[in-house]
Amino acid sequence: MVIGCGNDARGDDAAGLLVARRLRQLGVHAVERPGEATDLIEAFAGAEDVTVVDAVVTGARPGAIHLWKDTPPPLPPAATGSSHGMGIAEAIALAGALGRLPRRLRVYGIEAARLGLGSRVSPEVLAAVEAVAQEIAGVGAG
């Protein structure tokens, strides 16, 4: 299962959604979710192998690609004002506490820069969207 998270109205925050759409163009099944913790926990239900893609802000250069395989992404500081409220890191922590994590979980984070309401997706993030979609599609083909 591949889950792309984000918000189309907030520029680079659409990164996960754009990856899901590109994967579908490449013939890979992918779903779109807003990235809310409870919704993600429900999406994990019964899944053995999940890849989640979302925009992140870690201080790296825009468009940088992060991959967490064995550990969840770090919890953001409480004051970050995520557009998801409780997001992916919180969903993973809560799903783990509830015993609802998939056996295999990968999280791709695409470093965002433009997150303002009505912003356009930055060229760096668009390039990263294509790179992540190609990588995931390649993993699925192998």
Q: Span 2-141: which CATH code?
A: 3.40.50.1450
| Tens digit of each residue's pLDDT (9 = 90 or more) over 31-89 | 999 888 888 888 888 889 999 999 999 999 999 999 998 666 665 543 334 444 567 88
Q: Would the pLDDT of 122 be above 70? A: yes
* Domain extent listing, the chain: 2-141
pTM for the full predicted model: 0.86
17, with CB counted inside 10 A (0-12, 13-18, 19+), is: buried
Report the share of the chain in percent with pLDDT over 70. Answer: 85
Query: Listing from the earlier edge strand, what are the strands of the sheet with 31-33?
Result: 31-33, 2-5, 49-56, 104-111, 65-68
Report pLDDT for 78: 39
CA–CA dist 6, 13 (Å, integer): 5
Helix residue ranges per DSSP H, the chain: 15-25, 37-44, 88-97, 123-141
